[in-house]
Copies of this chain bind each other. A is one copy, B any other.
């Protein structure tokens, strides 16, 4: 979590990488008009400082029997133990996201499973976690957009 100074060239590189995580350093170098070794050094520093968190291969969940996405709001017993609940929720492989949210003490999790039957099984597992009071699921019918690309300001900070 090092807070390095990010300049315009870093932002350019990050934008190119966000558009396609598989571009080679050589091609980034061509696009920004610098030598490949210079770009390599930048990318390495961005990775080391935690600004680049990693690279993910996006696999089609529909093609692989995980066609059902649901968002489940989970109310937990107020007070202590809330953090551990989040950790336990994160351990389920079918739970892709775990967010602790404001408002009433609750988590919002994104679940990706095969069908409604599997969702029911997952919700039942949630119920076995101690401080979990109740759950409220919203089934996704169509996903129009799903990305992690964040807009980067192209001026300096």
Contacts and interface: CB of A to CB of B under 8 A. Distances in A.
Contact of A140 (B20, B21, B93, B99): B99
Given A99-B140, A142-B100, A52 B57 contact: yes
Nearest to A91: B145
Contacts of A103: 138-139
Oligomer copy total: 2
A157 interface: yes
Interface in A126-157: 138-153, 157
B58 A53 contact: yes
A78 B53 CA distance: 40
Given A98-B145, A100-B140, A143-B97, A22 B66 contact: no
Contacts of A59: 14, 17-18, 51-53, 148-150, 152
Interface residues of A, number: 63
A96 B64 contact: no
A17 to B, nearest CB: 4
A42 to B, nearest CB: 13
A117 interface: no
A97 B147 contact: yes
B55 A20 contact: yes
Contact of A148 (B53, B63, B96, B107): B96
Interface of A: 1, 3, 6, 14, 17-18, 20-22, 49-61, 63-66, 69, 71, 86-87, 89-90, 93-103, 107-108, 112, 138-153, 157
